[in-house]
């Protein structure tokens, strides 16, 4: 049954600071020591670039960024079936993501994860080399593809 469900359309956001480190947040709804890059659903009829800026403001409290690039293909991941029944009213098997890269133009004090609907309990700038090991297991392959896709901006 899990495999027959569609993927939820979503943007994934790689926010890179002046030191080529990447923003990651610790999820508010997880007991795991897992960190992730910002991501969020694309509203019906919404352009991924517009969704990306909206999600940045909703999740990290700022959109003081410059668009760099995107991965041309959509990247899919399945979530474990026990989670798929709980998330998004059980409608989706996982997400199909358009990944966008941005250069953060601001200062750290502009980042505010205590937003209207917070998603993170903590945040940090992290080396791309550490991202896959910090992610939940079902997102690690996606993170490897994203790092490879944006290598010229982060190494």
CATH classification at residue 56? 3.90.79.10
Q: What is the dihedral of CA 62, 64, 66, 72, to 10 degrees?
A: 10
Residue 31 pLDDT class (50, 70, 90 cuts)? confident
Decide if pLDDT at 3 tops 90: no
Average pLDDT score over the chain: 93
Phi, psi dihedral angles at 49 (to 5 degrees): -65, -40
CA distance 148 to 27: 24
Residue 81 pLDDT class (50, 70, 90 cuts)? confident
pLDDT at 2: 60
pLDDT at 57: 97
Q: How many domains does the chain have?
A: 1
- Fill in the DSSP letter of residue 43: P
Classify strands 120-126 and 22-27 as parallel, antiparallel or unpaired: antiparallel
Residue 45 pLDDT class (50, 70, 90 cuts)? very high
The predicted-structure confidence for 86-97, as pLDDT tens digits, reads as follows 777 778 999 999
Region 126-139: what's the mean pLDDT? Answer: 95
By residue range, what is the domain housing residue 132?
Answer: 2-154
- Strand ranges inside 1-149, DSSP E: 7-16, 22-27, 35-36, 39-41, 65-70, 75-78, 94-104, 120-126
Decide if pLDDT at 84 tops 70: no
**Tokens representing residue 26 in the block:** 């610790």
Among the ranges given (15-19, 81-85, 125-129), the one the predictor scored with the smallest mean pLDDT = 81-85
Region 37-50: what's the mean pLDDT? Answer: 96
Nearest residue to 104 (alpha-carbon basis) of 87, 88, 123, 117: 123
Decide if pLDDT at 118 tops 80: yes
Positive or negative, the CA dihedral 70, 143, 55, 101 is negative
**Distance from first CA to last CA of the chain, Å, rounded?**
41
């Amino acid at each position: 049954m899990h495999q027959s469900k569609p993927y939820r359309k979503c943007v994934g956001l790689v926010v890179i600071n002046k030191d080529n480190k990447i923003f990651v947040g610790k999820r508010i709804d997880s007991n795991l020591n897992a960190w992730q890059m910002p991501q969020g659903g694309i509203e019906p009829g919404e352009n991924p670039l517009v969704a990306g800026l909206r999600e940045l403001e909703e999740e990290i409290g700022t959109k003081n960024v410059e668009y760099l690039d995107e991965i041309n293909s959509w990247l899919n991941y399945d979530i474990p079936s026990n989670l798929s029944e709980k998330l998004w009213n059980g409608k989706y098997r996982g997400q199909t993501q358009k990944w966008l890269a941005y250069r953060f133009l601001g200062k750290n004090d502009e980042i505010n994860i205590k937003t209207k609907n917070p998603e993170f309990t903590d945040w940090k700038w992290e080396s791309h080399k550490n991202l896959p090991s910090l992610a939940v297991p079902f997102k690690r392959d996606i993170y490897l593809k994203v790092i490879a896709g944006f290598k010229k901006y982060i190494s």
